[in-house]
Chains A and B, each alone.
Chain A
């Protein structure tokens, strides 16, 4: 816990300093006429000071280092999921909602959860169609058609 607090407080103090610097770069004005950078500067300063306080406090903390927060958990799954989502967002407009969503769900069901192919494929298809029906058809959200429209001249 001590190490965690030291690392995070240092990081946040750097963020605070950067924000304060950005705020100073905008006009700060004065008390009679605060300008755009006024509160940003002060928010950055406050964040920096609080972070430094936490950093100092962590040295006096009687808590030792507990078991690592990364041990005993499959943290890689969460990060893999994020990578899948980043790829999904990248292909979303180009491939269109239906195809990109189906692919994402297939990856989530198959590679993250090791479902059988038949289950993964059917769950992905059903979920994709259900989402399209609820949001695209019933609630009339305009999803990108993507490749279906461009190549196959097909639109839902």
Chain B
């Protein structure tokens, strides 16, 4: 299919009234979720996933992806005005954004955040449209050994570039794999770790697990805190940055867009990681790095561009290989599977309307977000003032109903409660949920790929070395595992 045909399909699909409506719904919900700290994108997508069962696959994915990139826009509002990140990816925006607000430049910070996200979003969508078809055709060369190695690389990267201890993250990967193995063995159908419970034969459902780990646990953490959040009261004058602001921000936006996109592609690379890396990069490039943290516009523009571009980059491994690079992509994978449109190299061939429709809807979605985020900022600010004690019961209800809707039984609710407690304790004891969920989702796929590879090679692990893509992935994995040990080894040798 040529690009012109692709553009025609994409445009006609994305401008269908129902798709336009749900694009709007998705980006609005995403912005709302980003603005309101307390429930993240993963939890929201998990809650709304069962609702999409009644929608067409294209409409469902358009809405869910709208939530994902919409949350990046919304999260920056809270970061700038309240110094609390609405989303993990907007943590870095607090550093300079809030300082700009304190200096009476909240409007400029919010405006540049929105414009930077818009430009980066468009860059990411263009790159997605250009790269995805090429990668899809390359993906036909991928067999079980390549898939296995890429997934192992993705899991390792998710532990390496996470914010906490790598050892603890690796433990969570192992635990996540174990949770993913619950259910029937994919080849022999032998029940594993089901304890005779028929509800577990199909394995643990991802939706209640994610809702518990990320939604319910977050509520538990929030309600144990004392006091209400303080919103910095400032007049939001001048949302449009001036020429000087643009001069300072253009290059950071450009760098952030490029960096964010390629980090987003890497399995394990998240919007949060891209924003941190962008911030560090801008500080390095800056002539006045000491000013970072005091209200520099580059410290807002670069990371905001990076996190939005990363959301687009994250779509690439999902759509072309069927390998999710983060939790939200894993939920989109579940949505695609449930709707009978499995992602991977065949998606572009079998469902070009879905593939191109989603991409073109992102063009529309980013315009909607610019419209929603700039003029409607005073409304979002008012929402921020809604006390959490009014909001959290709503969040709990949405989580419970979402968990119930998966199987129309209370089993999902029970799973959600159990994982809510687990997630809460994990956060208290500083164990990350991201690697666990990624391993939980990739575990069954990883096992199938490994067993298929060993069957093909008659039990020989050399198959992973003889395939070039697999070999490169494994070498990178080993280097990421060994690299953190080098300082420890140097110290030990020095002591001896």
Contacts and interface: CB of A to CB of B under 8 A. Distances in A.
A43 B193 contact: no
A36 B177 contact: no
Given A34-B451, A109-B393, A127-B393, A39 B171 contact: no
25 contacts: A8-B429, A27-B190, A32-B455, A32-B459, A34-B450, A40-B181, A43-B174, A50-B170, A53-B167, A73-B224, A74-B225, A78-B220, A81-B219, A85-B396, A85-B400, A88-B413, A89-B410, A92-B404, A92-B413, A105-B393, A113-B389, A115-B389, A123-B393, A131-B401, A139-B54
A98 B482 CA distance: 56
A139 B422 CA distance: 30
A50 B171 contact: yes
Contact of B177 (A34, A39, A51, A78): A39
Nearest to B390: A123
Interface string B397-437: 11011001100101001100100110010001111000000
Given A4-B429, A34-B454, A50-B174, A78 B167 contact: no
B178 A127 contact: no
Nearest to A91: B410
**Residue of A5, A12, A50, A73 with most partner-chain B CB within 10 A:** A50
A131 B397 contact: yes
Contacts of B450: 34, 39
Interface of B: 51, 54, 167-168, 170-171, 174-175, 177-178, 181, 185, 187-188, 190, 192-193, 219-221, 223-226, 389-390, 392-394, 396-398, 400-401, 404-405, 408, 410, 413-414, 417, 420-421, 424, 428-431, 447, 450-451, 454-455, 458-461
Contacts of B414: 89
Given A12-B175, A141-B405, 20 more contacts: A5-B429, A16-B174, A30-B459, A32-B454, A33-B455, A38-B451, A40-B193, A47-B178, A50-B171, A57-B167, A74-B225, A78-B224, A81-B220, A89-B417, A101-B397, A105-B397, A108-B393, A127-B397, A139-B51, A141-B404
Contacts of A143: 404
Q: What's the dominant secondary structure at chain A's contact region?
A: helix
Nearest to A69: B428
A152 interface: no
Contacts of A142: 408
Contact of B171 (A26, A54, A105, A109): A54
Contacts of A77: 223-224
Interface of A: 1, 4-5, 8-9, 12, 15-16, 19, 22, 26-27, 30-40, 43-44, 46-47, 50-51, 53-54, 57, 69, 73-75, 77-78, 81-82, 85-86, 88-89, 92-93, 101, 105, 108-109, 112-113, 115, 123, 127, 131, 135, 139-143
Contacts of A34: 450-451, 454
A86 B458 contact: no
Given A30-B459, A54-B168, A73-B225, A8 B431 contact: yes
Contacts of B168: 54
A92 B424 CA distance: 24
The 8 closest A-B pairs by CB, nearest first: A32-B459, A78-B220, A31-B459, A36-B185, A47-B174, A113-B389, A36-B190, A73-B224
Nearest to A44: B178
A39 B180 CA distance: 11
Contacts of B393: 105, 108-109, 123, 127
Contacts of A30: 459
A131 B396 CA distance: 11
A15 B251 CA distance: 50
B453 to A, nearest CB: 10
A39 B336 CA distance: 27
B177 A43 contact: yes
Nearest to B220: A78
A39 B167 CA distance: 20
